[in-house]
Structure formats: structure tokens, C-alpha cells
Amino acid sequence: MFKRAIPTAVLLATGSLCAQAADSAAHGFLEDSKASLSMRTLYFNSDNRDGAAEPSKTEESAQGFVLRYESGFTQGAVGFGLDAQALLGITLDSGAGRHVGSGMIPSDGDGAADTWSSFGPTAKMRLARTEFRYGTLLPKLPILLANDARVLPQSFTGAQVTSNDIEGLTLTSGVLEHAVGRASTDRTGLSVAGSTQDSNKFYYAGADYNLTKSLKTQYYFAQLEDFYNQSFLGLTHILSIDSASSLTTDLRYFRTTSSGVNNSASGRAQGYRVSGYTDDNDGEIDNSTWVAMLTYTHGGHAVSVGHQRVGDGSNFVQPNQGSLVDKGAGGGSVYLPTDKMIQNFARAGEQTNFGQYTYDFAPMGVPGLKASIAYLKGTDIKAQNASDQSEWERDMTLDYVLQSGTFKGVGFTLRNAKSNTDAGRNVDQSRFIINYTLSLL
């Protein structure tokens, strides 16, 4: 059923051609081309020297370059185009004993690789307001988020169709086959945390519908072949209180069940299993997760509070290749507001209360400067043959983007987090990041 997601979307795109003419405002393949060079310098320090495991500390820095090219579309009823990205990472500082697993730099022997790189083209086609893409993709969807928390971004390869032919409605479907980790030059299959096996089919389809200007609903379905089926429901509402204040309600619900090989004991024995607590310690995926969050904004102030509850059948799952042989393949994101610097508070049975305060200094005459602090407390974490566990994390962030002068647009970020958990090792982590994007076309 779900393998027909791509053909269905292509038929939808073809039908839309009868309803709308091609965009007459398009100029052409070269005329609408854009190119940019993004540069990121990252210092990463993660101190996790306590606990039962051997003491360790990660401390290293690297420079990343991302060259992106986006063509326009050829003229005519059906437009064709080509995008591409070239990634280069350079190790600035590392060393024996300090390259312990930052997920930032590939390993080379006992230490960090000097450089790493990858290249990914993407062919695209447009029919009216429907676009088909094949090649390198960086999805930002509730069922899959490409991670960009280190020097270079995680990417995926596959096909995706996005249609905006119906006003207020965005339809998306696709199939992904491989991933390139943020600290890797190699393509791997897709997997879940704890599995030593992978899959080369991740099917998905969904809809984002704006019922009104202030109310958005979402539904997505995803299937990671051999592992799980996942349904997502989302609702976001923005209530305007006055010209300077608003209240945003964000509700999310996931239902994830085992599928294919993970649904059988023999399959799980082969390595198609998820890590963490599961019923009978059998590695089978079975989880319901919901989260409710309120955000009040007034001027430069923003205060968020929320509660998240993870079912106790298994951990919450979305694609994560961290347990595969290619150690640089790890570093997945999950579409939860609790996915923070160190923890994501998505363990089986976990109930998390969280809050965050953010201030934008622009009203005080300092545009480009922002600061935030967040605190999360998770309890009732299920553990095999042990009582329930708990954990907490505190995150602080300071951002500043230069607003004028020769270096206008250069951004500086300082992040610090502390995590204490019964389910793993305590961690203190700091990051210093410099970002700059230069427009070439």
C-alpha cells in the first residue's frame, strides 16, 4: 500500500497540470539559479568522565564548508532543474584520547580524520505547483528530521514529491534509500538505535493543512521497512492577544508499532531490534508518545512550558544509524520539543515536564542578540530488572549575529548544557559556533 506513495503523488501532479498553467513568472534554468557557500566553525567539549564506563572526554574543533547550487526550472509546462551540494570538513584540533565520539569528525585509526567530504546532486521537475525531487534530500518533516547539529549536515538519498496545488494544503510523499551521517563520507542503509541491521526503504506520506491563518493540522505516515510503522498527528494554534502578545499551542501524537522483521522473534535475534527497555526485553518496537506545549510571547520575551509522555512498550523511535558499523553514521534528530543538546527524553515510560525562557534583545536596541535557558525533568523511565529511573537537563544558549559592517551576517553561538541521568552517564557539554553564509549568485 505505502509503496505506491510516489506513483500516487506523480498522478496528483499530472492532474494539477490540467487545473493550472505553468508559472509564467519563472525565468529559466540559469536565470533563477542561486549559489551559496556556508561556513561553520565548531568547538565541541563534552565531559562525561563519571559513571561505570571508562572515563572519557571529547574535546575537538573542526571547520565545515557547504557549497550549494540551486538552478531554476526550464521554461514550459513541465520545468526541469538540478541542485547540488558539496560538503567538506577539516579537523582543526583533536588528538588521541580526545576523539571519543562527538559525532562531528570521522575516525581514522585511533584518532580523528584530517578531512572528509561528500557530494550530492538532486534532479528536480515541476508541474504547476507540484515538485518532484530525486537525489540528495534534507527532509524537515515530523517523521524525519535531517540533523544539522555539528559541522556538516546529515543527508538522505531518495525521491520526494511535494504538492501545493490546493490552497492551504501541502501534500508530501517519498521514499528514502540511504543516509550520509554528519561525521561520515559513506552512504549507509536506514536503521533504528540499537539495531545492527539496516533497511533501504523508508516510505512516507503526509499532509499539512492550514484550516485558518492561525490553525494548522498535520498527519503523516511513515514505514521503515523491516522495523516499524509510524503515524503522526499534529496541531498548532496561534492566538493573538494583542499587537505584541500571542499564545501558541503545539500538540503532537505519535503511534509506532513493529513491522516486518522486527515483528518476529527470529528477526529480532538477527539484529533487527531497538535498544533500551522493551516488554520482555525482546527488542520489539511498540510506542505511543504525546506532547503538549504552550508558548507565550510578549515583545522580546518568550516562555514555553510543556509535558511529554512516552509509552512504556519501548523507546520512541525515528531513524538513527548510530549502531551500524560506520560509526560516523550516527546523530539522528527526533521531532520532539525535548530533543535537546544532550538528551531527547524519549525513553520508554518517561514523563517529562519542561520549560524554556527566551529573550530577543532587539526591543532594547540590540538586534541580533538572543539568549535562552531551558530545563527538563524526566521521571518514570522503565529499566529491565530495576526500579524506574529519572534524569534532568539544563541548557543555555547565547546567539549574536552582526548586523552591519564588513562581517555583516556572521553569527556567533555559545551553548552549554548539563545532564544528570540514572539511565546513563552524567555529561557537561559546551559548544562555540561561528556561522557565515556567503551568497555567490
Eight-class DSSP state of 5: H
Mean residue pLDDT of the chain comes to 91
pLDDT of residue 8 exceeding 50, the answer is no
At 245, is the secondary structure helix, strand, or coil?
A: strand
Residue 258: strand pairing partners: 228
User: What b-and-e string marks burial along 80-116, b requiring 16 or more CB atoms within 10 Å of the CB?
Assistant: ebbbbbebbbbbeebeeebbebbbbbbbeeebbbeeb
H or E stretch covering 114: none
Q: Distance between CA 226 and CA 195 in Å, rounded?
A: 11
- In the predicted structure, residue 3 carries a pLDDT above the cut 50: no
Give the Cα separation of 14 and 370 in Å (integer). 45
Do you know the residue count of the chain? 441
Specify the amino acid at residue 340.
Answer: K
Please write the tens of the pLDDT for every residue from 162-182: 999 999 999 999 999 999 999
pLDDT score for 331: 83
Contact 92, 61 (CB under 8 A): yes
What is d(CA 175, CA 168) in angstroms, rounded to the nearest whole number? 24
Tens digits of per-residue pLDDT, 69-83? Answer: 999 999 999 999 999
Transcribe 287-355 into DSSP letters: EEEEEEEEEEEETTEEEEEEEEEE-SSS-------TTSS-GGG-----SSTT--SS----STT-EEEEE
Dihedral sign computed on CA atoms, order 206, 202, 292, 337 = negative
| Residues 351 and 308: beta-carbon distance below 8 Å | yes
Task: Tell which wins on pLDDT, 441 or 236.
Answer: 236
Percent of the chain with pLDDT over 90: 82
Average pLDDT over residues 139-150: 96
pLDDT in the model for residue 1 = 41
The whole-number average pLDDT for the span 420-430 is 93
pLDDT for 327: 72
Closest CA to 156 of 63, 232, 226, 222: 222
pLDDT in tens, 277-287: 998 899 999 99
408 three-class SS:
coil
Instruction: Write down the pLDDT at residue 167.
Output: 95
Among the ranges given (15-19, 58-62, 103-107, 136-140), the one the predictor scored with the smallest mean pLDDT? 15-19
SS3 98: coil
Given a cut of 90, whether residue 185 has pLDDT beyond it is: no
Sign of the Cα pseudo-torsion (240, 244, 245, 246, in order)? positive
pLDDT of residue 280: 87
Instruction: List Cα–Cα distances, 86 to 90, 317, 411, in angstroms.
Output: 14, 30, 22
pLDDT value at residue 330: 84
Q: State how far the Cα of 431 lies from the Cα of 340, in Å rounded to an integer.
A: 13
pLDDT, tens digit, 9 for 90 and up, residues 331-380: 889 999 999 999 999 999 999 999 999 999 999 999 999 999 999 999 99
* pLDDT of amino acid 329: 85
Strands 389-401 vs 369-381: parallel, antiparallel or unpaired: antiparallel
Q: Give the pLDDT band (50/70/90) at residue 96.
A: confident
- The 3-state DSSP composition of the chain as helix, strand, coil percent (nearest 5) reads 10, 50, 40
Q: How far is 354 from 293, CA to CA, in rounded Å? A: 9
Find out whether 227 and 192 touch, Cβ atoms under 8 Å. Answer: yes
The yes-or-no verdict on residue 206 having pLDDT over 50 is: yes
Pick from 62, 46, 84, 59: nearest CA to 150: 62
Which domains are assigned to the chain?
2-21+39-51+63-439 (2.40.160.10)
Residue 25 has pLDDT above 70, yes or no: no
Instruction: Tell me if residue 427 falls in helix, strand or coil.
Output: strand
Which pLDDT band holds residue 295 (cuts at 50, 70, 90)?
very high
User: pLDDT grade, residue 17 (50/70/90)?
Assistant: very low
Over residues 127-144, the mean pLDDT reads: 97
- Assign 14 a pLDDT band (cuts: 50, 70, 90): very low
Q: Residues 385-398: pLDDT tens digits?
A: 889 999 999 999 99
According to the 3-state scheme, what is the secondary structure of 11-26?
Answer: HHHHHHHHHCCCCCCC
Block residue for cell numbers 526503504: 201
Query: Angle CA(313)–CA(188)–CA(178) in degrees, nearest 5?
Result: 85
Q: What is the pLDDT of residue 48?
A: 83
Return the pLDDT at 5: 43
The residue that leads in pLDDT, 384 or 97, is: 384
